[in-house]
Structures are given as C-alpha cells and as structure tokens.
A and B are shown apart, each in its own frame.
Chain A
Amino acid sequence: MISKSRLYIPRPTARPGDEPDFSYLDLSPAGALDKPPIDARTRDIEYLSSGLVRVLDEDHTAKGPWNPGLDPEQLQVALRWMLLNRALDDRMWQIQRQGRISFYMQARGEEAVSIAQGMALRPGDMCFPSYRNQGLYLYRGVSLVDMMCQCLSNTRDMCKGRQLPIMYHSKEGNVFSISGNLATQFPQAVGWAMASAIKGEDHIAATWVGDGSTAEADFHHALTFAAVYQAPVILNVVNNQWAISTFQGTAGGQRRAFAARGLGLGIPGIRVDGNDLLAVYSATLWAADRARRGGGPTLIELVTYRGGAHSTSDDPTKYRPKDEWDAFPLGDPVERLKQHLIHEGHWTEEKHEEMWAELQAEVHAAWKEAQKFGTMTESPWLDPATMFDDVYDEMPAHLESQRRRMLEILSGE
C-alpha cells in the first residue's frame, strides 16, 4: 500500500543502449480469437479489444476464423502495393537526404495498414488518413509522379506549393486532404459518415490516427459522435509504439489497450496484428460490413512498429534502441506476407527480388518524370500569384489588391 499520493511517470522499456524489451505487448497466438457475427453486441465481444487478432502464424501458415481466404493472386497484388509503398519511401528518403525535397515521412513497417485497409474498403468509402497513410493514396490511384510532384512543390503539385511534402489529397480517389494538425480528421470522418447515413447512402468513412494523438480532444469528440449517432465509420488507431520520442505509454497505452478506448461508449474495439495483412484486411472487412448494415462504428487498434524515424527531421537513435525493430515480435509486414506466399508455394525469393527491382525502376522512372515539372532549384516554377487562389470561392478585394502589390514588387516596380 502506498502511503501518500505520488505521480507515476511512464517510461518505455528500453532506451538507447538497452536491450529491446517488448514484454509489455500482450500477444495472442494466430487463430486464437473467435470471429463474432457482425451484429454482435459490444459487451459480448470485449475480448477482441484486449486480445490480438492474428491470422499469419510463426510458421507462415494462415490460421483461424479471421483468415479472409484471399486467393494467391490477391495476396501477390497486396505484396506488390506494400513493396511499392516501401520503394517510394526509400527513394524519397534518399532524395530528401540529398537536399532535393524539404521533408519526408515514411511508412516503413506500417505498410500493411494502408494496403490491407484500402483493399477491404469500397472505392466509394471515404478515407480520412493520417500522414503515414501514403499507401492509401497509391492504392486509390494517385500516381507516383503526382505523389513526387507534391513533395517537390513543383508545377504539377496537386497542392500548388501550399503544403509541406506528404500532405496529399485525392478527391477522385476519395482520400481526404492531410492537414498536418493531428487527429483533426477523426471527428470530420464521423461527420462525413453521418452525412452518408442522412442521405441514405451505404458508403462508410474510415479514418486513422497514431497512438500518440489519441490523447487529442478530437479523438474523443469523434468517439462520442460516432457512438451517439451510430455513424458508419471505422476509427483506426495505428499503434506504432512511438510518437516521435514519446512512447505509447505516455498516451495512456500502458493501462489498457487503445482498442478499448471506445468500450465505455459502447463502441466495439478490435486489437489487430497490424503487420499481418490478412488479419488487418479481415478485421477491417468485419467493421465495414457492420457499419454498412447499420451496426455503427468500430475502433480498430493496429499494433505495429514505426520502423523508421518519425520524419526526415527526426533521429530515433537519440531515444530508442537502434535494433528495436529487429526485436519487435510482430516483425515486418512485407516479410511476413512474402514468407506466407512462399510457404504456400505461390512465391519465390527470385520472384520477390524481381518484383522489388521492377518497382525500384518504376519509382526511379517516376522521379525522372516528376523533375520535368520543376524541382527546388530548377524551372519550371509555380506562379506565385496562385498563392492567393482558393482562400475563398471568389477572391475578395483585399486579396486581389495584395496579389497585385506582390506582382508589382516581384516585377521590380
């Protein structure tokens, strides 16, 4: 018994120089958790928020009721998307290190989240992503060249030079604009989903935040609205263990799983192995079906690991063990799907190397193409007068006058 009150200061299990220690992660064996019907009552399926839905086992087989039964071709396609995401990230990271773009964020180690969830959703479902969901844009049809031109702020930049690199948007692909302010998209997705139900449509919304930003008020606003109105929305928490240098315990992850955050409001939670493409796909499809048939929201926690630095401005060796990812018990999503396919006889190391080389070449070619639309140091340049566009639907007089003044100054008057 503690005799007086004192603060508990959360600390990660390992800092630089320490042995990585993931003993804090509760793991269930693959195939261990039951798959309930989509109309199950939240109180009857609380086990899903404390256990871990897994399909891919240590021996690379797919096990249990959550196995979605995707055919080998679909899995090869999924693998290809994850590899494309990684090839893009690798290249853009190098390019930033060469000083040719100002900033970048990679999804290394988390590729299964965007690809599996993208696959499980329908094209008419609206995605409200976080900044590490570039895979969603790729999967929903945004070209490599367009992604790169956004990062270059060049003449083909979808954001016309107004946004930091990686803040993409795709109206056509139904992937919302990335804000840069954390968790703001979470309650917006709920509003979008409410509108879908108000209009009597069967599109649902899906949205993503990190473990760190579950501490934002917006996260709780979203859960409240989603629960109150039973909005058709999937609320995803990508628990990659780290929010820059802050480990997930500082956002409250040590007391109870993030998947359980909705239980108090009656929102079912599913804690999923986020590096298991089959499990992520299957859990997302379950939540999507439930939402589409009037069952309301589901909170999915995707347990994964941020394999790289937070961003190009970050140096994780300052705050976590260098080899921590190697020790992460859920491994690497790309490697796990690859080994599964090899185990099932539908893939080989040679094919994999071939595909990787092909995707690297594709990314290389896209980068050559993207630079034709301008770089940070070479023309063509964006017209700075466009910075005054789109503040309002129609430009008000004071902005017209400021634009005129800027152009006068630029032309040396």
Chain B
Amino acid sequence: MAQMNMIEAIRSAHDVMMDKDPSVVVLGQDVGYFGGVFRCTDGLQRKYGEHRVIDAPITEGGIVAAAIGMGVNGLRPVAEIQFADYIYPGFDQIVSELARLRYRSCGEFFSPVTIRTPCGGGIRGGQTHSQSPEGIFTHVSGIKTVMPSNPYDAKGLLISAIESDDPVVFFEPKRIYNGPFDGDPEKPGVSWSSHPKGDVPEGYYTVPIGSAEVAMPGEELTVITYGTLVHVAIAAAKETGIDAEVIDVRTMAPLDVKTLADSVRKTGRCLIAHEATRFGGYGAELAATIQKECFYYLEGPIGRVAGWDTPYPHAFEWQYFPGLKRIASGMRRVLEAE
C-alpha cells in the first residue's frame, strides 16, 4: 500500500494500464509534456513516449472524435477533457457517435473510449470551471457514467473504465483531488493521508463499475450522494449528531439500485444530495427509483439538496454550493417530515 491523493491514484491507474496494455493511449490538452493542468498524467509521456501520450489541440470535439477513431482501430484511448465545463463541444461526438456506435452497427463496431474530466465546484472556479454535468450524460443510453469520491475508488474505477469495452465518462471531483472536503471553506485543508481510502495499492486492482458503497453506516436516515458531497454528508452527520447512513453512488449509470434500496428500506428516510442543479437533475432519477423500490418503507418524503438552478456564481460560491449547512438542514427536514 502507498499513500496517494486522487491525482496520484489517477496517474497510477494510467501507469498500470499503459504498462499492462500497449493499446492504451492518452490524449488531451496539456496531458503530455506538461502532464496535465492537474498533473494527472505527469510523467507518462516521458515513460511511454509521444505516440502514446498525445498533446492535443484545443478542440474537445476533435479529441473525442479522434479517440473514437482510434478505438475503432484497436486502441484503448483515454481522453482528458480539461474541465467538464468544456465537454460540450465534444457532446455530439459522445452522444450521437460514441454512445451509439455499438448499437447502430449491431456490435460490429465499438470504441472503448474513456473520457476523464474534472468536475464540480468549491475551487473558486466560477461558472466555467465548476459545473457538474453528469446528469446530462446519465440520460444517454450506451455510456457509463462514473464519479469516484476518494483515491482508492478513483484508481480502481479508472482501471475498470479503461478495461471496459463500453464508453465511460469518468468525472473527477477536483475539489477533493488533494484531500477530502467537509463543506466548510473556512477550515484548513486536510490531506488524504489521514483517510483510509488514501491507502492505495501500487499495482493493478479494480473497483467494479455498477456498484455503490456504504461510505458510513447509520440507522436514522440514508443520504444518497457521490463525489465531493460524500465527505460533506459525513461531516454534516457528525456535526448534527444524526445517525445517517451515507451511500456513495460511485457509478451513476449503470446504477446499483440494490445497495441504495437496502439502505432506505432499513432507515425509512432518504435525502439525495448532489452539486449539480436540481431541476431535471440526476437526483430526480434517484428519487423516482427509491420511491418505486422503497415506497412502503418510507416514513416521509424524499428530500433533495442540490445546486440552485442558476449558473454557478463566482462571488456567491458558498451560498450556492450544497455545503455542510445545507446538507445538515436537509437531513433535519427529512427527519422531521411526517
């Protein structure tokens, strides 16, 4: 075991897979010589060469399309989109092409592309470096959507994504790249070294796509969340003294319904939390799923805490971000509801 932050864990996943499988290639803006603006691919070009770690022009649509073509020709591309906020020029290639190629050609053609992209707020990034667009991708048939909340899962899930013959959009919550975040920006940052999930094997292992995890067991209510908010929810439970069970969804699509439903059947109450905006968001799918699976176990309405339905405001980040206070308040509301 080694101590790794999420950046090191993601880099290690690349390294393990590039070493194991010569068909794995990496492309994206600044990923090569420089090693990525967040350093997730640092050192890979020196180790594996310029033909396997490719600095791409600023053209997200081109990066995704080129990766698709490479995948059709037998490579296993890992494409980095520098910020999830910039994924939209590549959206058509993801939705109309990557997601549907296997389907429309009845399995004759497919492209095993992994698209990594840092997402989420809490870094003073304003509206162009803070978005959480995962719900736009979970709505698309044919792709898998993943978001880890810690170094161990990040490495294991990324290896699974690279090995998957299906396309995977892999969201990396950048607020917790360097350490878990409890939702209070006034507190000094903490590192992953004191977190059990900061212990990461140096070699190959996988965390399966399609499995959620109980991040913290509890009895009073279930908080279903993912990414940065896993840590905020745990902190909120500790601060309020509520005996909450926090579920880390980890894979938004395909969804591990059983782990979620088992927890809600046990606690009878459910709060859903995500950073992304609320209206039409992924939380609505979670709420509908829980309502269907657990209706007769529910003791009150399912609650949701999410980003307000506005663009991400630079100056009002901590009023906007579903931080500790908002999640704590959401937990109380769900507990008090008749």
Contacts and interface: CB of A to CB of B under 8 A. Distances in A.
Contacts of A391: 102-103, 141-142
Of A171, A187, A389, A396, most buried by chain B (CB within 10 Å of CB) is A187
A158 B107 CA distance: 10
B103 A162 contact: yes
B217 interface: no
Nearest to A394: B166
B216 interface: no
Contacts of B104: 159, 162-163, 167, 169, 177, 179
Contact of B105 (A177, A224, A225, A228): A177
Contact of A222 (B52, B65, B92): B65
A390 B97 contact: no
A196 B73 contact: yes
A353 B67 CA distance: 48
A221 B102 contact: no
B281 to A, nearest CB: 18
B255 A393 contact: no
B96 A190 contact: no
Contact of B97 (A184, A192, A398): A184
A205 B52 CA distance: 20
Interface in B41-84: 51-52, 54, 56-57, 59, 61-62, 65-75, 77
B93 interface: yes
Interface string A166-180: 010111000011010
B74 A199 contact: yes
Nearest to A157: B106
B69 A177 contact: no
Given A198-B51, A217-B89, A391-B142, A205 B105 contact: no
B300 interface: no
B106 A187 contact: no
Interface in B232-271: 254-255, 257
Interface residues of A, number: 46
A188 B97 contact: yes
Contact of B69 (A169, A189, A392): A189
Contacts of A158: 106, 108
B25 interface: yes
A191 B89 contact: no
Nearest to A181: B96
B65 A188 contact: yes
B220 interface: no
A177 B51 contact: no
B69 A195 contact: yes
Contacts of B154: none
A397 interface: yes
Given A177-B109, A195-B74, A390-B102, A184 B96 contact: yes
B65 A198 contact: no
B187 to A, nearest CB: 39
B110 A191 contact: no
A183 B94 CA distance: 14
A199 B25 CA distance: 11
Contact of A193 (B54, B67, B69): B69
A128 B103 CA distance: 17
Interface in A354-413: 389-393, 396-398
Of A191, A192, A198, A389, most buried by chain B (CB within 10 Å of CB) is A191
Contacts of A221: 59, 61-62, 65-66
Given A187-B61, A218-B93, 18 more contacts: A167-B104, A170-B108, A171-B108, A187-B62, A188-B97, A190-B65, A191-B73, A191-B77, A194-B66, A195-B25, A196-B73, A205-B69, A217-B89, A221-B66, A228-B57, A390-B106, A392-B142, A393-B164
Report, nearest first, the 9 A-B pairs whose CB atoms are least far apart.
A191-B69, A221-B62, A187-B65, A191-B66, A195-B73, A192-B69, A396-B254, A188-B69, A177-B105
17 contacts: A171-B109, A176-B72, A179-B96, A184-B65, A187-B61, A187-B62, A187-B69, A188-B68, A191-B72, A192-B70, A221-B61, A222-B62, A228-B57, A391-B141, A392-B254, A393-B166, A397-B257
